[in-house]
Structure formats: structure tokens, C-alpha cells
Amino acid sequence: MILTDFFKALGQMDDRAFRRVLFLGLGLTIALLVGLYAGWLALVDYIDDGPLTLPFVGEVTWIGSLLNWGGLGVIIVMSIFLMIPVASAITSFFLEDVADAVEAKHYPTLMPAPKVPFVEALSDTVMFFGVLIGANIAALFAYAFLPFLAVPIFFALNGYLLGREYFTIAAMRREGRVGAKAMRRKHSGEIWVAGVLMALPLTIPIMNLFIPILGAATFTHLYHRLAKTRAD
């Protein structure tokens, strides 16, 4: 059943709303990385204005050159580690548009879902980003001590986080925050499996950038399927 939800989502990837969210997410992510690089260059210019004087060392003239040469490499490394969580977090801010498009095509008899207030959506996005980054940084210690379990830990952790976030987004539009939380607890196993299946493509370059959109659409179908089962 989960795969059916996924293939329904995949079949709608040419939807205008899907493309809009994809381009917005990618554009804002790239803008963030460019901003980080601009800040790095500003730091280099500041240091190059004059030699840095350190206690007991004296003038240090090579730091600016080192930063200048290393800046591009730092940004490349940061893009590798940050692109996916940043794109996921930024895109999650627009995922309501994806859910609206899914419901308009597959569930046209439903009344329009009430819009989530801007401040609440922004707060949820910031919280999701913080949890995603924090949990994966903490997992680095587990990878170091249990390297043979690194792959299962990565997929289990990110599957849980992604499933939790995207099901909540999908269900909260119709059930409210309390109702979405109750449904998530009741169907935690199926939601976790769906999250793991969504986390698998995160390791595939290019394809991983489409995962937030596919995830939102898939979990919208998953929510409606579970809600229908409950009604029956």
C-alpha cells in the first residue's frame, strides 16, 4: 500500500505546483550557500586589510591567503552536508502547496483545507531543520563507535524523522495538531516504514532533491488512506 501511495505521488511530478515548490526550494538553498560564501569572502577581506597580531606570536600574514584558497573547498564541503537538510527544511515551508495539488487531483470532493498561519509554518520549519541537523550530528558519534551499524542507523533515524514530519504536515491540515499526533502514534510503524523508504533515495545525488516533494505527496496519500480506513 505504501508503494501505491508513492507511485501516485510520482505520477504527479509534472504538476505545476510540484515544479514551483521544487524550484523555490532549490533557489533558496542555493541563495543560502551563496550567502555563506559571500560572508566567507567578507571575512577574508577583513583579515587582508592588515596583518593579524597574536599574543606571543606577533604578526600573522598568511591566514588571509589560507582562508582565500580554502574558501571554495569549505563551501563545497558545506554544500555536500547541508544541501539535503537545508533543501528539506526550506521546501517543507511550501509543502502545503503540494498537499493542495494532490487533494485537488485525487480527492476533489474534499473541502479546501484551512491554511496554516505563516508564523506557525515558519516555526515548524525552523524546528524541523534544527531536529534534523541535531539528530544527524548526534548520530555521528554512533557511527564512530558502531561503524558496522552506520547504514541501518542512518536510515532508521532519518526514516523516523522524515516520516514523523511529513505525516504531521499532511494530517495536521485536516485533523489539527492534536489529531495528527494521535494518528501518528496509532500508525507509527507504517509511518516509520514509509519514512525509511523515503530516506533511501537521499543517498542518490540529484534524485535526493526531489524527495521532500515526493514525500509530501506520498504522505498526503498515506494520510487519506488511513483516514478512510478509520471511517470505514
Going by C-beta distance under 8 Å and a sequence separation of 6 or more, which residues neighbour residue 162?
A: 88, 195, 198, 199, 215
Written as tens digits, the pLDDT of the chain (232 aa) is: 788 998 898 888 888 888 887 787 777 767 777 777 677 666 666 655 555 454 544 454 544 554 554 555 655 555 555 555 665 666 667 778 888 889 999 999 988 888 777 777 777 777 877 787 788 788 888 888 888 888 888 889 888 888 888 898 889 888 888 899 999 999 999 999 999 988 888 767 667 777 778 888 999 999 999 998 876 5
CB 139 within 8 A of CB 157: yes
What end-to-end distance do the CA atoms of the chain give, in Å?
A: 17
Domain count, the chain: 1
Neighbours of 106 (CB within 10 A): 16
Q: Which domain holds residue 61?
A: 2-231
